[in-house]
Structure 1
Amino acid sequence: MVRQFGADVSSNNPPNVNNYARFGSKFVIVKLTEGTTYRNPSAKQQIASAIASGQTPHGYFFAVFSDNSYLAQLNAELAIYQAKALGLPAGSILATDWEVGDGNEVTGPVSANTQAILVSMRMIQKAGYRPMLYSGAYNLKNRVNTSLILKEFPDSLWVAAYPLGNGTAVSQPDFSCFPSMDGVAIWQFTDNWCNQGVDGNIALMDFSKVKSEEVDDELNWHPQVKYNELGQFKINRPNGADLYEDASLKKVVGHRPNGATFKINRAKDGAVCAGTNQWFNQADGLTKINPLAVNPYGKGIAQITADNAWTQNNAKPDTGVKHLEKGSTWHVLGRSGKYLLIGNEQSGKFVDGDKATIVL
């Protein structure tokens, strides 16, 4: 049986993780996000230093969705986006960390807890990553139907159980205390591995190599549009797609190659309009619609495109509250005119939509 040591880290750990390789670590699982807004500021360096020291990087996100499947989707969307932005290879672990804390509750109905977790894991798999579920042994035995999880995702449990309690320095796991559960692929056996103040894990599978999963092209394509633009269309037929005169799709007026993308301004009866007398059959490609263009209460992800973007508390020219870094991403909860709702009064509720794009 394969047994490999590995560490998992967050912003509470050093940005440089190469020291863990000295103790035999073969992989490092890096916290990428939490909930729908937080991104680990050390993740990029932690992934890079893991690679530089011969440790395979993987990722996880701290779930803040409790038993809510819709919030699970939003949590997973941000985690997937950040994994791709940081260059985490397809096939890497992207685990759902579902435990008590930071607003996440585990006391909901077991069926609802399980379904919400499955929503996140299905999205992760569809995006080309390896889904896993992390939690404490008690939660996995009492708060989640792990049989359903394992039926869909075999060997996907990452379980925390510390025989010697919190804070005790441990260098080797005591397998006489191994959590007796089916489907355990990784056991987190201490929160102070080798007295390094880092979580220590023992894997029962080889996670030092990454096997790429098949990536869904639709989830892998993330065009960016203005807040008021309807969306984009991408041809994915090997031989390209015909261009039609109108939405009836009867008269062909041209042809466009595979991979070509177009802004769309209307959709009707299974056809999308890319300009005057320029219609495509939606079956000939991928269509991404911007929900904020058609519904002021729509939700999405915005990426900051300006150096001088600030949050503000009114949907009009106003005093800045917090500076937003160019390139950072934020969950959008609606819009008022061109102002995107991304926060609260303490952090600033809105950002000017002219200083961001919507990531589809």
Structure 2
Amino acid sequence: MARQFGADVSSNNPPNVNNYARFGSKFVIVKLTEGTTYRNPSAKQQIASAIASGQTPHGYFFAVFSDNSYLAQLNAELAIYQAKALGLPAGSILATDWEVGDGNEVNGPVSANTQAILVSMRMIQKAGYKPMLYSGAYNLKNRVNTSLILKEFPDSLWVAAYPLGNGIAVSQPDFSCFPSMDGVAIWQFTNNWCNQGVDGNIALMDFSKVKNEEVDDELNWHPQVKYNELGQFKINRPNGADLYEDASLKKVVGHRPNGATFKINRAKDGAVCAGTNQWFSQADGLTKINPLAVNPYGKGIAQITADNAWTQNNAKPDAGIKHLEKGSTWHVLGRSGKYLLIGNEQSGKFVDGDKATIVL
């Protein structure tokens, strides 16, 4: 149990956060966005000053989507965009702050609340950040199915519970008052840590370093598919992944091991289909999609797999012009049927897609 202190900040806190390091802060979680339009004007300086003072920066966004999964997607898109624009390192925490306020409601159906939150967390994970869910202990116990959250994202809860109430200066948490919940990774134990007017947190894991093994795995994994195949899914959860009956991910029908790969037939709402009654949660692995399968103007990389591949002028059986060496790779600008357009837009030529694969 790491038990490291950290602060979380917004535009209500100073742009320079280096003072918190004096009180033992090892990490700072910076508010990046709110809803679909607001950006914290102090975020850039807060991240920079955290790094300069030896505190690891992380991020969060204030959710304004209530139980609406579509709005959750839009909220997460802005947060991810801002995280990347501000240079928040891949692998950093990017938490969904889901609580009452600024138009966000928590009194919707628990199932709808949970699904909307999961939409945001899945998008965050896919973007290369560590998803977490922040809220008060009451909301997490009564308004969200946290067991479903933790099934996809173990140890992902950041819970607020102030034993002494709001505004009371607290320097150390009283663990006899620790919120009794599964999956708590960070406890926000005061909103006036060390009389600094800043939220104080205690982490039960080491968040003072950014871990990015999953992103590295994605960068190193380059499956190859046929021109018309949607993509591939690779399980990277250490204990493997459950197999579900449909895209709702409710009924488990099997289990597959870590490292197993599957061709993707369809994708829907954070789930991928690898066959009849074989659906995986995208949170359990890496997904790589072939843009050329769904867009004739998509772009990609093709590798020649046949000895007798030639360029040709037309997207139909035609006389060969230039022989393409087996194993060579080419930029693809689109496709017509099974024929891939390679080269450049001004002088591109076609190659038979049956003699190449798309490298994802």
The TM-score bracket by the shorter chain reads 0.5 to 0.7
Distance 1:106 1:358, change over 3 A: farther
For each residue in 1:235-271, what CA deviation from the matched residue of structure 2 results, as whole angstroms up to 9, or x when unmatched?
A: 9999999999999999999999999999999999999
What secondary structure does 2:288 align onto? strand
Unaligned runs of 5+ in 2: none
Aligned to 2:55: 55
What TM-score results when the alignment is normalised by the length of structure 1?
0.62
What TM-score results when the alignment is normalised by the length of structure 2?
0.62
Shifted more, 254-263 versus 230-239: the winner is: 254-263
Shift of 1:234: 21
What secondary structure does 2:59 align onto? strand
Distance 1:177 1:276, change over 3 A: closer
Distance 1:98 1:262, change over 3 A: closer
For each residue in 1:250-299, what CA deviation from the matched residue of structure 2 results, as whole angstroms up to 9, or x when unmatched?
A: 99999999999999999999999999999999999999999999999999
Shift of 1:343: 42
Shift of 1:215: 3.9
Distance 1:350 1:315, change over 3 A: same
Shifted more, 328-337 versus 133-142: the winner is: 328-337
Contact (CA 8 Å) 1:96, 1:131: kept in 2 or not?
A: yes
Contact (CA 8 Å) 1:136, 1:161: kept in 2 or not?
A: yes
Shift of 1:214: 3.1
Shift of 1:217: 11
Distance 1:8 1:281, change over 3 A: closer
Shift of 1:2: 1.2
For each residue in 1:146-171, what CA deviation from the matched residue of structure 2 results, as whole angstroms up to 9, or x when unmatched?
A: 00000000000000000000000000
Contact (CA 8 Å) 1:321, 1:347: kept in 2 or not?
A: no
Unaligned runs of 5+ in 1: none
Distance 1:249 1:118, change over 3 A: closer
CA distance in 2 between partners of 1:38 and 1:134 (Å)? 19
CA distance in 2 between partners of 1:311 and 1:32 (Å)? 49
Contact (CA 8 Å) 1:106, 1:139: kept in 2 or not?
A: yes
Aligned to 2:321: 321
For each residue in 1:164-185, what CA deviation from the matched residue of structure 2 results, as whole angstroms up to 9, or x when unmatched?
A: 0000000000000000000000
Query: Which protein is bigger by CA-based radius of gyration?
Result: 2
Contact (CA 8 Å) 2:3, 2:202: kept in 1 or not?
A: yes
**Identity across the alignment (%):** 98
In angstroms, what is the RMSD of aligned CA positions? 13.7
Aligned to 1:142: 142
Distance 1:345 1:241, change over 3 A: closer
Shift of 1:120: 0.2
Distance 1:306 1:183, change over 3 A: farther
Contact (CA 8 Å) 2:152, 2:283: kept in 1 or not?
A: no
Distance 1:249 1:196, change over 3 A: closer
What secondary structure does 1:135 align onto? strand
Contact (CA 8 Å) 1:90, 1:213: kept in 2 or not?
A: no
What secondary structure does 2:215 align onto? coil
CA distance in 1 between partners of 2:15 and 2:319 (Å)? 34
Contact (CA 8 Å) 2:125, 2:283: kept in 1 or not?
A: no
